[in-house]
A and B are shown apart, each in its own frame.
Chain A
Amino acid sequence: MKTIKLILKNQELKRKILFTLLLLLGLRILCSIPTPGVNGSYFKDLIQTNTSLGFLNTLTGNGLSSLSIMTLSVTPYITASIVMQLLGVAFPTLHELQKGMKDDRKKYERITICLGGVLGLVEGIAMAVNFGKQGMLISYTWYWVLLVALIWTIAAIGSSLVGKLISDKFIGNGMSLILLTNILSSYPSDIKNLYDVFIKGKTIGVAILAIVIILISVFLLFAFTSLIQDSEKNIIVNYSGKSFNGKNLVKNKMPIKLCPGGVVPIIFASSIVSSVAMLGTLLKANDNIFFKIFNTGMWFDIDNPFASIGVIFYVLMIFGFSYFYTDMVFNPKEVSDNIKKHGGNISGIRAGSSTSDYIKKQIKVMIAIGSIALSIIALIPIILSGVWGLARLSFLGTSILITVNVIIESRKIIQSNLLGTSYTYSGGIF
């Protein structure tokens, strides 16, 4: 309440929040506009049976299930980000652009948006051609295929630009906020799913017990996610020199987050699984064993034990991307050089390469523990879906990580704006 009052008093912050909300509302309106020439109910049943596509649907704010003009939403931008990060390893120039000064980073973002546009067009055409034949398009002609693909691509580029506009001119990380609103728009259907499975048709006593258990479980899951996001290991760095109280040694804490890569590794892994599932649907090959492995709806399903192999791939991808992404965004040598430059050292560790090796080792341990925690959160909805036959619950898994991360970080940004300080979005999604 106190923060709200302070926001209302701060004209500049009030304006920024208002414009951010208006832009997000604009995108929500676009999500409700149906694509012309398309059978809007085509995807609804398909998403119920394939939970990998359900995740894609959540990221598009139900745009995919309703085949609105926001069918692709920011997903091509997410894919483009993954491709750009991977290309950065092969092409150091790209990596330098990403890590460079403001102008370099802007150039890098522009390339990502353009690549997102190209990927959106390819994805749009592939969907319109393959699903169009199967009845998605009311009239399957080259004209309608091209028109539908263009509408989806333009809307996808538009939403990416809105995300960037929010990040640059208004408040918070635009792309993360768009993802958050998309995820939150799926909550009502989740409540309905839970109601249908655990409450509908039950006696009052059982229904009340189910409601209490669901509420406690949801709270505990959110608390566990918050705990993971806020957990860190502090490395004590000693700085020599005179401090304000006359002592010669100043001890500073250097925090290393439990998941240094934030939610990016899990988004990357989920996006790959969803993309393969989408490819299987496009090729009408969902019964093929390879595509069954990438259908999260079949994991932990007693009738399809072989499909559960996909879980191993998924967990390995979370671990792999955690190491890979952290390695790209965090440079232990740079940190150790900075410590040395400021006359600091870690107790019992020599300055230079020994410090760099020590930090690297600590990060690896944190990534290992963090990846286990991320895997647990990611697998909960999949286990629920396999055991109870629940349709995908958008507030679990990857979505809960994004939700908690974006809400907590956005609160910190608003608070720092109120204090007149700048806050760097830590563990930002894109």
Chain B
Amino acid sequence: MKKIVKEMKKISHPDKKTLFKDTSFVLITCVITSGIISLIDLGLTELISLLV
């Protein structure tokens, strides 16, 4: 356990600013894309229920 903690200290991480920017970018992309996909899905479901 001690060895793992010691090794963890040697690992380099992205700085807080980069991490915040990356996380925000991922979340915004997720929200926009899932919004678009759910709109497409809703439209298609309606269309198919009309056709079937």
**A interface with B by C-beta (< 8 Å):** 25, 28-29, 31-34, 62, 181, 184-185, 187-188, 218-219, 222-223, 226-227, 230-234, 258, 365-366, 368-369, 372, 395, 403-404, 407-408, 411
Contact = CB atoms under 8 A, between A and B. Distances in A.
A368 B11 CA distance: 13
Contacts of A226: 14, 19, 22-23, 26
Given A407-B30, A408-B22, A28 B37 contact: yes
Given A219-B23, A369-B7, A34 B52 contact: yes
Contacts of B14: 226-227, 230-231
Interface-central residue, A32, A33, A369, A403, by most chain B CB under 10 Å:
A32
19 contacts: A28-B44, A29-B44, A32-B48, A34-B52, A184-B33, A185-B37, A185-B41, A219-B27, A226-B14, A226-B22, A230-B14, A230-B18, A234-B12, A365-B4, A366-B11, A404-B26, A407-B29, A408-B22, A408-B26
Contact of B48 (A33, A258, A404): A33
A39 to B, nearest CB: 14
Chain B binding site: helix, strand, loop or mixed by DSSP? Answer: helix
A32 B30 contact: no
Contact of B30 (A62, A231, A372, A403): A403
Contacts of B27: 218-219, 222
A404 B22 CA distance: 9
A223 B7 contact: no
Given A230-B14, A230-B22, A231-B11, A184 B40 contact: no
A411 B22 CA distance: 10
Nearest to B52: A34
Interface-central residue, B14, B19, B29, B34, by most chain A CB under 10 Å:
B34
Contacts, number: 86
B47 to A, nearest CB: 8
Nearest to B31: A187
A230 B11 CA distance: 10
A84 to B, nearest CB: 30
Given A33-B48, A184-B34, A233-B10, A223 B40 contact: no
Given A28-B44, A227-B13, A233-B10, 14 more contacts: A32-B41, A32-B48, A62-B41, A181-B33, A181-B37, A185-B38, A187-B30, A188-B38, A222-B26, A230-B14, A231-B13, A233-B12, A366-B11, A368-B4
